[in-house]
Amino acid sequence: MIPRLVIFDVDGTLVDSQRQIHTSMTEAFLLQGHVAPELAAVLSIVGLSLPEAVARLAPDLPEGERGHIVAGYKATFNGLRAAGIAPLYPGIAEALQALAARDDLLLGVATGKSRRGLVHLLQAYGIEDLFVTRQVADDHPSKPHPSMLLAALAETGIAPQDAVMIGDTTFDIEMAGAAGITALGVAWGYHPAEALLAAGAGDVIASSADLMPALDALWDAVA
């Protein structure tokens, strides 16, 4: 039996990190003497690599100035992370364990987080052993470039038609489309469900309890 690969985004999909992200971005802009972006603007760029996110939030700033904002964000975020980790969304831990227990599935991660940040998070929740492939911003272009997903497929030997990308942003959905992978959106994250469907999501689920049925339905549809 050839297993199937389920690849998860992290921020906005597995964990609710909006407080840490917004606080860090606000502090980073203010430290450089700039007006901080609104929460909605910050959430709109979650999922992108940090330099790309800052470039979208402040396209008129010189590259060097944006670099200072990136550095300020990292410093503030690291301090917040030391004080406490972002919470998992309700039911996520149980859903991941249930998926990992299936012989026909492999789990992976494709995230705009750094390797350091991802490892810290997974270890804190004791779920690092659930994921056979972990693709991070350190090694790839920013989403929606398909590099992360192509690397996950190559690492696991899974064909695109046997993989699903699960995420909360249009960047996740567009990345999946670029890699030839089916995408499943989640409605509890940072981009609205209508935007995820418009970007090409095969479905958008409302809760973690819907995850297993939605995956089975997606694969039944393409069988």
Amino acid identity for residue 108 in this structure: G
Specify the pLDDT at position 219: 77
Cα(140)–Cα(207) distance, rounded to whole angstroms?
Answer: 30
Q: pTM for the full model?
A: 0.91
Residue 223 is predicted with a pLDDT of 60
pLDDT at 207: 95
Residue showing tokens 């790309």: 52
Picking from 65, 105, 81, 101, the residue whose alpha carbon sits closest to that of residue 24 is 81
Q: What is the pLDDT at residue 222?
A: 64
Which positions are catalytic? 9, 11
Amino acid at 214: A
Which DSSP letter does residue 17 get? -
Beta bridge partners of 15: 11, 88
Return d(Cα 4, Cα 122) in angstroms, integer.
22
Tens-level pLDDT at each residue, the chain (223 residues)? 679 999 999 999 999 999 999 999 999 999 999 999 999 999 999 988 999 999 999 999 999 999 999 999 999 988 887 777 889 999 999 999 999 999 999 999 999 999 988 999 999 999 999 999 999 999 999 999 999 999 999 999 999 999 999 999 999 999 999 999 999 999 999 999 999 999 999 999 999 999 999 998 887 776 6
CB 212 within 8 A of CB 98: yes
